[in-house]
Amino acid sequence: MAERPEDLNLPNAVITRIIKEALPDGVNVSKEARRAISQAASVFVLYATSCANNFAMKAKRKTLNAGDVLAAMEEMEFERFLEPLREALEVYKKGQKGKKEVSEQKRKEKEKKANSENDKSREDEGEEEDEPMEEEAENEAEAEEEVEN
Amino acid sequence: MAATVTSLVTATEHDPDRCGSEEETRGAEAEDIDQPQQQTAPAAAVSHSRLSKLPLARIKALMKTDPDVALASQESVFIIAKATELFVEMIAKDALVYAQQGKRKTLQRKDLDNAIEAIDEFAFLEGKLCKDCGGKKM
């Protein structure tokens, strides 16, 4: 299903919440300003993606990775984002690793019950990270469900 | 969509070993981890929103509209989501300066326009925001 950039907006409630939390109490935001910020955020995603993709292509990679995005932030003069982004990435990676280890444990237990002699060692993480972009957005949920299995 | 993504995160959080490392990095919001594992969306949403408030599926769908982009790792989608959050905070605060100059407590569209014009980092936005976005409900 082809979706044009104009059709995709980030959820208004979330954008509003981010704005409210960034500003001091007592400050209001007009509807037009909120709409404009939401639009700006979408443009930001597209611009950052394009910039990051350039780095990936330069490195002859077909998959955008976190490093490409960080390089894009520098290129776009958003160096101030680098430190908080790196920290958030660490937390995210730990969470992902935890998810995989839990799902691996579940898988092991299942197989133990089935075979009762299975001695597979844990696989390394990293396989699930690349996701084909041409598939539907729902596939992200499916891919993560695979991890859970 | 968000519910699907967030419900998976709770699977990790009832494991005490995992909680230990997460508590160090999560700071004030660590008490959420001590809650018993719940499959309800609100509890899951809280734990996931600590990492990213914006739904990764929507961010990824946006990225997909770029024809040059083939594949993107989950991490890259997450980082872009997080960066977008930081960007929204930044532009809101910078626009506020102009509202305050005008002795107003309400951020208006023109404050955004002023910030975009004045601040180098926002140059990429020039001409990109529609003047009067009629039909878009907020």
Q: Which structural domain, as residue segments, surrounds residue A60?
A: 1-77
Q: Are residues A64 and A105 in the same domain?
A: no
Q: Are residues A65 and A20 in the same domain?
A: yes
Q: Are residues A64 and A101 in the same domain?
A: no
Residue of A8, A26, A37 with shortest CB distance to B92: A37
> Which ipTM value was assigned to this complex?
0.71
All residues of chain B having their beta carbon less than 8 Å from the beta carbon of residue A31 are 138
Cβ within 8 Å, pair B83-A68: no
Q: Are residues A55 and A108 in the same domain?
A: no
Q: Are residues A9 and A70 in the same domain?
A: yes
In angstroms, the first-to-last Cα distance of chain A is 27
CB distance from B28 to chain A under 8 Å?
Answer: no
Cβ within 8 Å, pair A69-B79: yes
Over residues A41-79, the pLDDT tens digits come to 999 999 999 999 999 999 999 999 999 999 999 999 999
The total number of structural domains in chain A stands at 2
Q: What is the C-alpha separation between A56 and A123, in angstroms, rounded?
A: 26
Q: Encoding tokens for residue A7?
A: 């059709």
Distances (CA, A) of A20 to B85, B90, B96, B130: 12, 12, 12, 23
Over residues B62-119, the pLDDT tens digits come to 999 999 999 999 999 999 999 999 999 999 999 999 999 999 999 999 999 999 999 9
Q: Are residues A72 and A96 in the same domain?
A: no
Q: What is the C-alpha separation between A135 and B61, in angstroms, rounded?
A: 10
Q: What is the C-alpha separation between B138 and B120, in angstroms, rounded?
A: 28
| H helix intervals, chain B | 2-13, 16-26, 41-49, 56-64, 74-101, 109-118
List chain B domain ranges.
51-125
Last residue within a domain, chosen from A77, A102, A135 = A77
Distances (CA, A) of B5 to A29, A96, B17: 30, 12, 22
Residue of B8, B93, B112 with shortest CB distance to A144: B8
Q: Are residues A1 and A65 in the same domain?
A: yes
In CATH terms, the superfamily for domain B51-125 is Histone, subunit A (1.10.20.10)
